[in-house]
Chains A and B, each alone.
Chain A
Amino acid sequence: KAGVTQTPRYLIKTRGQQVTLSCSPISGHRSVSWYQQTPGQGLQFLFEYFSETQRNKGNFPGRFSGRQFSNSRSEMNVSTLELGDSALYLCASSLSGLTDTQYFGPGTRLTVL
């Protein structure tokens, strides 16, 4: 089975711009979660989608949003980028998103200049 894929792998943007990241989960997985990883804050949960519905959300500003499509692929969007948004953005998929294992994609490295 193919693993979780994320595109693009690297992205450089300037402050004020917006960005869209994409995630394709493992076939059959319906839950997609997004995390932000920075050296100072570690892995922080952004939100989770299951069957096109956001079920859970972390403590991030409204500039961070996401959606999920009927094929379980998910996108996250960050508007009005700030320098502090520079991070590794990780997508993880699982069957149910409850207590089962999450499998991570390779991540998108976002740099905001």
Chain B
Amino acid sequence: QKEVEQNSGPLSVPEGAIASLNCTYSDRGSQSFFWYRQYSGKSPELIMSIYSNGDKEDGRFTAQLNKASQYVSLLIRDSQPSDSATYLCAVNRNTNAGKSTFGDGTTLTVKP
């Protein structure tokens, strides 16, 4: 079992729809959770960080964390073609200095 698993893609949604990206993790000691966006040929870019159970909203993006279920998700509202990218879920803990554990990513395509 991988430490961080993301829903297998690719995911395709029409422009204006809600895109839902999911991630589960195996380490119950994980303390911080991140979503990165990576365009083809580019480096990962931070979208959201979340540390506590519940929802965190930033513009069109909402991250949801449920530590009991070891689950974190990212919702993208009003999806735009420019949101087409690979989305990476990452988790870390303070006893694992400097190491974020990444999922394999979910590739999202937003069709005009």
Residue on B nearest A94 in the bound complex, by CB: B98
Interface membership of chain A positions 31-48, coded 1 if the CB is closer than 8 angstroms to chain B and 0 otherwise: 111000000001101011
Interface residue total, chain A, C-beta cutoff 8 A: 28
Q: Name A102's closest neighbour in chain B (CB-CB).
A: B100
Interface of A is mostly: strand
Check if A43 sits within 8 Å of B98, measured CB to CB. no
Within 8 A of B (CB), among A83-99: 88, 90, 92, 94, 97-99
Contacts of B97 in A (CB 8 A): 31, 48, 50, 55-56, 97-98
Choose among B45, B51, B92, B101 the residue with the greatest number of A CB atoms under 10 Å from its CB.
B92
Q: How many residues of B contact A (CB 8 A)?
A: 26
In the complex, the chain A residue whose C-beta lies closest to that of B4 is A42
Q: Residues on B close to A: CB < 8 A?
A: 31-32, 34, 36, 42-46, 49, 51, 88, 90, 92-94, 96-105
Q: Which residues of A contact B (CB under 8 A)?
A: 31-33, 42-43, 45, 47-50, 55-56, 58, 88, 90, 92, 94, 97-107
Contact of A105 among B43, B90, B103 (CB under 8 A): B43
**What would 20 A/B residue contacts be, using CB atoms closer than 8 Å?**
A31-B97, A32-B98, A33-B98, A33-B99, A33-B100, A42-B104, A48-B98, A50-B97, A56-B96, A58-B99, A88-B43, A90-B43, A97-B97, A97-B98, A98-B97, A102-B46, A103-B46, A105-B43, A106-B42, A106-B43
